[in-house]
Structure 1
Amino acid sequence: MQETVAPSQPQDDGKTLSFVRWTQGLINRLVAVSDMALILLAATLSLSRPVADIANSLSPLQHLVLVLLETAVFHQMMTRVSAYRVEHYTDPVTSVLHLVGGLLPAWGVSLILLVAFAPGALQQPGWLILSHALQLVLLLAGRQAQGWLIGLANRRRLLRRRVVIIGANEVAERLVMDLSDAGNGGYDILGIFQDASDGPAAAQIAGIPVLGDLDALNAFAQAETIDVVVLALPWSRAPDIFRLMESVNWIAADVVIPFENSEVAPGYTGITPMGRRTTLQVMNRPFKGSQGVLKVAEDYLIASLALLLLSPLMLLAAIAIRLEGPGPILFRQWRPGFGRKPFAIYKFRTMKVDPNDDATIGTTGRRDPRITRVGAVLRRLSIDELPQIFNVLKGEMSIVGPRPYVANMLVGNERFSDLVAQYAERHRIKPGLTGYAQAHGMRSYALRSAENARRSIEMDLHYMTHWSLWLDVKIMLRTLVTGLAGRNVF
């Protein structure tokens, strides 16, 4: 890869696109986990002396099993009555009814088990009474705190979904009015963007500003977090709808098309409500809710451990580069990242400094005379990529994700981004230090043919739609092997 910074560098606007979004589903899962943790805490506190002495009647393992069963029954009952919904947490009466309704069956199950299998434990029931009392008190206090936090988040509009509409027409106007009549339904409409087929548009539509055309949307989406993109075109203009779907396939957002009437009932696959209107959801935001939290936690944990373990190796690489000759130790180059937002990627410098090389068109060959002797070793062992750990810690990259290629990378004589129609979809998630394609041999040197280039994009999209923590672990383990012995490593 050509390693000098292009003369004209993108300007950092200082804004960061939000990878993790606080969805209602994420909040509901966090509340459920909090409830289970509080039940376990109550059980632990109830065993403190001198309140309880059950060593001769229940073993620690038996007590743990009993508490876990209580927790499981409580969670099942709460789920059956749909207690884990954001709108319930701010209603004190509903919260109390749900918590008591979940605890009573759980307590009943534990009492039946004790009578059947450990009746001696009930001879001193103080620990059990205290455990159940603490469960109720802690859960009520927790729900009070959760309700207060959610109310605060609502007042600061943190839970509202940020929407842009494409189409300055009657469809957009009706949608805005429907959302207004429904109290916006938790949506903030950021603006309306005009499609080329719309014709002249007013400065505002139903009080929402028209912010420009699709070029303006491209700039807007790189600076602002968007949760929903609405393609507000009549269904009779299907070719234009498909064209717009390709135009926005790089934005990390749900993409929906509103039906022209509200007679289509939600419940079918892809049919989602939006205020008083139903929509067809044609794209889903990757890593929405709890998946995003898990992904970010994984990134920071693995990157921190990697930095701790690999610091001596990185120091040796830096010393070797400095001893070999003049020039910077690190090379810094702008790449399009999450949401196409440019970021400066870090690598160990492996090539001679060439101020006339703009470093924007592609990959470096194995026999490139600009590669230094130390650089050849660093490339062969993939040590040159290790400074990207700092990109991960800065939140610009993930440990695993599609590799960030230079903007004008060539495959043959054609730009990579023009060769494969789905190329832009890679920008819907953070770029990675390694990726599914790279772990399967599709490193930059392998992307010399159109067939391999298309195959690498297919692998990237497969990763996005089949992500799991276990898949990331397998990719990292495979990278350790292919990074040292892969045929496309040099």
Structure 2
Amino acid sequence: MRDLPGPVGVEPPAPATEGGSTPSFVRWTQGMINRLVGVSDLVLFLIAAAILANPPVALLESGLQLPQMAVISLAELLVYVSVHERLGGYRVERYADPLAAFLFLLAGLAPALLVSLVLLWTFLPSALWQAQWLLGWHLLLLALLMLGRLLQRWLIGVAARRRLLRRRVVVVGTGPVAEAAVRALREDPAAYEIRGIYRLEDEPRTEEVAGMPVRGDLAALGEYATAHTIDIVVLALPQVSEAIGLMEAVSWIAADVVIPFERPETSPSFAAIMPLGRLRSLQVLSRPFKGTQGLLKVMEDYVVASVALIVLSPLMLLAAVAIRLEGPGPILFRQRRPGFGRRPFSIYKFRTMKVNPHDDATTGTTGPSDPRVTRVGSVLRRLSIDELPQLLNVLKGEMSIVGPRPYVANMLVGNERFSDLVNQYAERHRIKPGLTGYAQAHGMRSYALRSPENARRSIEMDLHYMTHWSLWMDLKIMLRTLLVGLAGRNVF
């Protein structure tokens, strides 16, 4: 977790962007909408159950006790959701048609009502003597769910008009496979939006593909991807093996990477099959934190960072006073680091080293005896207090609480650049960098920079985190950081 602060106040310019846009970490998907609709159904069930517990009209007087109503409501909810999912009711196209939405709601509520009747007949038959409350409750529940569907239909219409669900696509290649991919994507403009076509260096300088202009080479793609959101990268090359060889060049882009192929009988086991309009494609890389996962990750970051800033503000104030009393120089320093999508951002830390405007920040600290570290800085580093200002980076949306460590762009491991030493280094930029991370919580803080073996191991840990993420995993990393990762011999 320890990186050497470079020249204080000296920041290289950010790459040029079109319209000042930035890559989006959270992106709307149909899966996210379906999960949000499911959550809204849960909320409406709870509202209906609360109304049943405190009925405003005599029609809903059930005579049931609170535990009994809770059991009935939970059983119905489980049956409704299970049947609704099995019938395909949680699909965006279902919400767009009011009649279809109504029929799917009936199909889910009918077996739920049957379950209630069976439970009451078995355990509380007296409640069925005057069962008008049961009919009234289900009519209320149906009305609430239908109102929810109408509201969801309107919101989906707004999302469609704002093109929130269209997937932004770039195509790499200018040959016949690229032409077929472009034509297939243009047949479904509601689902796909082609943002650019890019050629390889050894391809002819074609000006357009299937009537769409070629925007440049892979370098131009890199500039565009740094500044804009991309959902799908299509590697449209004549041979699948050629496209696979190109994966490393685009592995840092936070997007699904697919390879279209023509032979319908091909069903490889090493990659998922993903439709690309009327074409089939191999999905060789999947975008991390897709849909709901990205939303949960962002919510986690803002909640944890806000609480941590409130709790730790006295400690941060003491650290600032100690730095100021020790001698001249800024309390905080800012340093440019490549972040999500390789876009540079200014990382914040408490200053722990003597100001040296000529230090290029490519060499990490050598340990506690490093003469560049101040006395106060040594204490701050030992206790990881110098990292706390990065909570501000989290609230700015530039970092996450948990994620890969954002190293200096040209950080050295021995005599080699970290990014050159490990082939998969670039994939770390597919997610936001973190204040702590899986590698850092398991002993790979400054030690990741001490040897090539440690460097490779730390990247393996980062990739493991990206592919196995869960909220529980983040919680374990944060707890491990608090208990064993904030201090010790591997921290400095």
**TM-score calculated relative to the size of structure 2:** 0.94
Q: What is the deviation of 1:364?
A: 4.9
Alignment of structure 1 residues 113-124 onto 2, 5 Å? 113-124=119-130
**d(CA) in 1 for partners of 2:222 and 2:367?**
33
> What's the CA shift for 1:55?
9.4
User: 1:208 maps to which residue?
Assistant: 212
- Going from structure 1 to structure 2, the CA distance change for 1:43 and 1:130 (only over 3 Å counts) comes to farther
Q: Which amino acid aligns with 1:231?
A: L
- Does the alignment pair 1:218 with 2:222? yes
Q: Spell out, residue by residue over 1:263-318, the C-alpha distance to the aligned partner (whole angstroms, 9 max, x if none).
A: 55799961111110000110000111111111111111111111111111111111
State the alpha-carbon separation in 1 of the partners of residues 134 and 150 from structure 2.
24
Amino acid at match of 2:180: R
Question: Which residue in 2 is equivalent to 1:381?
Answer: 383
Distance 1:414 1:33 in 2: 50
Does residue 435 of the first structure (1) align with residue 440 of the second (2)?
no
Cα distance, 1:210 vs structure 2: 0.8
Amino acid aligned to 2:210? A
Q: Which residue of 2 aligns with 1:11?
A: 14
Distance in 2 separating the partners of 1:267 and 1:114: 50
- Matched residues in 2 for 1:40 and 1:49: separation? 14
Task: Give 1:97-116 correspondences, 5 Å limit.
Answer: 97-116=103-122
Distance in structure 2 (CA, Å) of the matches to 1:99 and 1:330: 57
2:328 aligned partner: 326
* Alignment-derived partner of residue 196 in structure 1: 201
2:196 partner SS:
strand
Instruction: Letter of the 1:197 partner, please give it.
Output: D
Q: Which residue does 1:187 correspond to in 2?
A: 192
How far is 1:124 from its partner?
4.8
Runs (5+) with no aligned partner, structure 2: none
Which residues of 2 match residues 342-361 of structure 1 at below 5 A?
342-361=344-363
Does residue 1:341 correspond to 2:343, yes or no? Answer: yes
For the Cα contact (< 8 Å) 1:259–1:277, is it kept in 2? Answer: yes
Partner of 2:417: 415
Report the equivalent of 1:166: 172
Query: Which of 439, 458, 461 in structure 1 is aligned with 2:460?
Result: 458
SS of the counterpart of 2:164? Answer: coil
Which letter maps to 1:28? N
Q: What letter corresponds to residue 252 of structure 2 in structure 1?
A: W
Q: Is the aligned partner of 1:399 residue 2:401? A: yes
* Structure 2 CA distance for partners of 1:267 and 1:129, relative to 1, 3 Å: farther
- The residue that corresponds to 1:94 in the other structure is 100
Letter in 1 for 2:117: L
How far is 1:20 from its partner? 1.1
Q: How many residues align?
A: 486
Give how far 1:254 is off: 0.5
Q: Is the 8 A contact 1:363 1:409 kept in 2?
A: no
| Secondary structure class of the residue paired with 2:435 | strand
Are 2:87 and 1:84 aligned? Answer: no
Q: Distance in 2 between matches of 1:109 and 1:226?
A: 47
Instruction: Please state how far the C-alpha of 1:83 moved relative to its aligned partner.
Output: 1.0
SS in 2 for 1:184: coil
Give the whole-Å Cα distance in 2 for the aligned partners of 1:20 and 1:98.
30
Separation (CA, whole Å) in 1 of partners of 2:87 and 2:179? 38
**Given that residues 55 and 61 in structure 2 are in contact (C-alpha distance below 8 angstroms), is that contact kept between their aligned partners in structure 1?**
no
- Offset, 1:126: 4.8
SS in 1 for 2:466: helix
What is the SS of the residue equivalent to 1:278? strand
Instruction: Identify the residue that residue 246 of structure 2 maps to in structure 1.
Output: 244
Q: 1:93 to 1:156 in 2, by over 3 A?
A: same
Q: What amino acid sits opposite 1:9 in the alignment?
A: P
Which digits, 9 at most, give the CA deviation of each residue in 1:221-268, with x for residues without a partner?
0001001000000126x2x32331010010111000001244557999
Take 1:62 and 1:375, find their aligned partners in 2: how far apart are those partners? 61
Q: Which residue in 2 is equivalent to 1:308? A: 310
Query: Per the alignment, in what secondary structure is the counterpart of residue 192 of structure 1?
Result: strand
- Contact 1:362–1:408 (CA under 8 A) maintained in structure 2: no
Is the CA contact (8 Å cut-off) linking 2:258 and 2:281 kept in structure 1? yes
| Structure 1 residues 77 and 367: CA distance shift in structure 2, 3 A | same
Match of 2:371, SS state, is: coil
* Deviation, structure 1 residue 156: 1.6
Instruction: Indicate how the Cα distance of structure 1 residues 56 and 48 shifts in structure 2: closer, same or farther if over 3 A, else same.
Output: closer
Moved more, 405-414 or 299-308: 299-308
- 1:377-424, Cα deviation, whole Å (9 max, x unpaired): 100000000000011111111111100000000000000000000110
- In structure 2, the partner of 1:149 is 155
- Please state if 1:67 is matched with 2:73: yes
For the Cα contact (< 8 Å) 2:52–2:61, is it kept in 1?
no
Specify every segment of 5 or more residues in structure 1 that has no aligned partner in the other structure, as ranges.
none
Give the C-alpha shift of residue 184 in structure 1. Answer: 3.4
Asked whether the equivalents of residues 63 and 127 of structure 2 are also in contact (C-alpha less than 8 Å), the reply is yes
Deviation by residue 1:459-484 (Cα, 9 ceiling, x = unmatched): 11111111111111111111112334
Deviation at 1:57, TM superposition (A): 4.5
Give distance in 1, aligned partners of 2:410 and 2:268: 43
Partner Cα distance (1:485, 1:177) in 2: 57
* Identical columns (%): 65
Q: Residues 234 and 260 of structure 2 are in contact (CA less than 8 Å); yes or no, is this contact kept in structure 1?
A: yes
Residue 477 (structure 2) aligns with: 475
SS at match of 2:347: strand
Contact 2:169-2:232 within 8 A present in 1 as well: yes
Alpha-carbon offset, residue 125 of structure 1: 3.7
Which amino acid is the alignment partner of residue 391 of structure 1? N
Runs of 4+ displaced beyond 6 Å:
53-56, 265-268
Q: What secondary structure does 1:163 align onto?
A: strand
- Relative to structure 1, is the Cα distance of residues 219 and 133 closer, same or farther in structure 2, using a 3 angstrom cutoff? same
Q: SS of 2:491's equivalent?
A: coil
Task: Quote how far apart the aligned CAs of 1:361 are.
Answer: 4.1
The separation in 2 between residues aligned to 1:8 and 1:397, in whole angstroms, is 18
Q: Which amino acid aligns with 1:191?
A: G
Cα distance in 2 for residues equivalent to 1:141 and 1:120: 33
> Alignment partner of 1:230: what SS?
strand
Cα distance change on mapping 1:54 and 1:163 into 2, 3 Å: closer
What is the one-letter code of the residue matched to 1:80? R
